[in-house]
Structure 1
Amino acid sequence: MSTLTEVTRLAGRVRERLAELHPGAPLGELETLPGGHSGLTFSITAGPAAYVVKAVPPGRRPVGRNDVLRQARVLRGLAGLLPVPGVVVVDEHEPAWFAMEFVRGEAIEPVLDDHRLDPGLCRRRMVALAGLLRGLHLSGPPALEDSVPLDPAAELDRWSRTMRAVPPELREGGEELLERLALSAPAGLPPVLTHGDFRLGNVLCVGERPAAVVDWEIWGYGDPRPDLAWFLLFADHRNFPRLGREIPGLAGEEELLAAYLDGAPAPPDFDWFRALARTKMAAIMGHNLRRHREGTHHDPDQERLPPTIAAMIRTARDILG
């Protein structure tokens, strides 16, 4: 069955459920949302209301990033605790899908995206996000039954596999870095709810206010330090040679860390997690570049990545001492 036929059937199911929520209201068409979304992501209107629909792609198993029901569960679990889109419909029949409120706002990564935002506004958003991340980690274990806590060694193992699948010429020094990380892996902290890709590019903002944290495809339950280190990585354009843009006045890693801690002691062994964040970024970029060069996913823009991959590996090693 063609993808077009599957999407047409999905549209019928979505319109039927939304008609129950909005009797007599005119229903719009199911339109694909542009951007780097996982799975199938659409928008649709029902009268004055607007929704985002996420669905399992045709022919795919509902696992990992395609497990949209798992995403719906965490969004519902966070309602009232964190600014997230409200889930209005969940349909577990295959292929599964759910609908959530369409939250208007900007999701802009200051040092990586092309934009004309005021640097002061970017700085205030970054500091606000540090507090938001602290709130997520302090929200307490959610009533979610399907997330096995990950300790630092398991997190390292996950990204080591990704790094080692990258051709050696794209990850010079990477093997030594992985070995050094493995030899010095710290003990884990009590597990908390984690986003997995927490940064300004995944938070819709209105002015300086975070309106909704989105993209919960890889949320987990584990040590909070990987989330924090990943967020801080995006504070400095120098981490991304040939990709980053210098914006005077942005909050740096130290200021954002202080905003996150809010007077609490610094987390132990945090430099290890700063190095791990750079290892993760190098592995992801190397993976994407390999897919482009192999023809799996053609994207010539990936050819800009080698200097940043090299910088991530080099600075990770420097952080470890």
Structure 2
Amino acid sequence: MSTATPVAALAQRVRDRLAALHPGVSMEELETLPGGHSGLTYSVTAGEAKYVVKAVPPGQRPVGRNDVLRQARVLRALAGSAVPVPGVAAVDDSQPAWFAMEFAVGQAVEPVLDEPEVPAATARARMLDSARVLRSLHVADVRGAALNSPEPSDPTCELERWSRTMHAVPVELRPGGEELLARLAEDVPDGLPPVLLHGDFRLGNVLYVGERATAVVDWEIWSVGDPRIDLGWFLLFADHHNFPQLGRAVPGLPTEAELLDAYRDGGPELPAMDWFRALGRMKMAAIMGHNLRRHREGKHHDPDQERLPPTIAAMIRTARDILG
């Protein structure tokens, strides 16, 4: 059987379900959206309404990043909260599973890494605002939601998980990595009460119109755990010096200290933030090292990966500097 047949059948299921929400309105064909990192991602228009559809690829299991239904669960749990998320319009758990959410307008631009460039003042305002959005996520009360949450991740679990990823990277691609892992393990902080985590919170995953956040997107790896895990990751995108050969200077971006103040919003200081800032850099080094290894082994050909070694080294070096 050709692969086009099950995909066409999936598309028909989506169109039939959404057509029922818009009787008498013309349904357009599904269009593949580029750049998706989980499952299949489409856009579809019904009259004046537009949706994004995420689906499990036919023939694949709905696990990990392909588990699109867990994304729908977290979006529904956050509906009506202070966290801007797309509304979920339809969910279909028959295989291959899919869900449809409202199409959110806006730009998702990481100022020090992405094109197109945005005005420096706009980038600054967005970054400060996104710190407040992250705070809203971490204080959101989703205890009554049917999230089927994973076990909460504390600092020890997080370090063990990412240490395994780092150890899978060849030693020559992670200079100083062993020393960094050892220093992180020397002084693991106590955990804070677990909250809902995005897992990859940064401006590249928040849509903005002007200086207004319209939607937090890309919820493939949400979890529950220590809020400083999200925060340490978010902060490392504030400085282009963390990304040699990849990043660019953007004048006036807030410092990590300013972002922390915006996140706290007058609340108490967060203990052991330096440890989590270093952890975020270790995670980035591990991810980049993993991607570079796959490229060099021929598992995923991408010559751009050869630009990563200076950034991997910088992430490890600055993490060690942060730890003193």
TM-score bracket, shorter-length normalisation = over 0.9
Task: Name the structure 2 match of 1:248.
Answer: 251
* CA deviation vs aligned residue, 1:135-192 (integer Å, no higher than 9, x gap): 1111134422332101101011111111111111101111121121112111110000
2:179 partner SS: helix
Asked whether the equivalents of residues 37 and 65 of structure 2 are also in contact (C-alpha less than 8 Å), the reply is no
Whether 1:19 and 2:3 are equivalent positions in the alignment is no
Asked whether the equivalents of residues 203 and 210 of structure 1 are also in contact (C-alpha less than 8 Å), the reply is yes
Quick check: 119-128 or 262-271, which moved more? 262-271
- 2:178 equivalent among 155, 158, 175: 175
* Residue 126 of structure 1: how far off its partner (Å): 0.5
State the TM-score, normalized to the length of structure 1: 0.98
CA RMSD of aligned residues (A): 1.0
Distance, in Å, in 2 between the alignment partners of 1:91 and 1:36 is 20
* CA deviation vs aligned residue, 1:178-211 (integer Å, no higher than 9, x gap): 1211121111100000100000100110110000
* CA deviation vs aligned residue, 1:223-262 (integer Å, no higher than 9, x gap): 0001011111101000100000001111111111110011
1:61 partner SS: coil
Whether 1:271 and 2:274 are equivalent positions in the alignment is yes
Distance, in Å, in 2 between the alignment partners of 1:88 and 1:294 is 42
- Structure 1 residues 182-197: aligned runs within 5 Å: 182-197=185-200
Asked whether the equivalents of residues 89 and 99 of structure 1 are also in contact (C-alpha less than 8 Å), the reply is yes
Asked whether the equivalents of residues 289 and 303 of structure 1 are also in contact (C-alpha less than 8 Å), the reply is yes
* CA deviation vs aligned residue, 1:43-65 (integer Å, no higher than 9, x gap): 11111111000011222211111
* Residue 36 of structure 1: how far off its partner (Å): 4.2
* CA deviation vs aligned residue, 1:273-303 (integer Å, no higher than 9, x gap): 0000000000000111111111111111111
Distance, in Å, in 2 between the alignment partners of 1:146 and 1:258 is 29
Task: Name the structure 1 match of 2:35.
Answer: 35
Structure 2 unaligned residues grouped into runs of 5+: none
Whether 1:58 and 2:58 are equivalent positions in the alignment is yes
Distance, in Å, in 2 between the alignment partners of 1:3 and 1:256 is 47
* Residue 6 of structure 1: how far off its partner (Å): 2.1
The amino acid of 1:129's aligned partner reads: S
Structure 1 unaligned residues grouped into runs of 5+: none
The amino acid of 2:86's aligned partner reads: P
Distance, in Å, in 2 between the alignment partners of 1:252 and 1:317 is 19
Q: How many residues align?
A: 321
Distance, in Å, in 1 between the alignment partners of 2:5 and 2:234 is 40
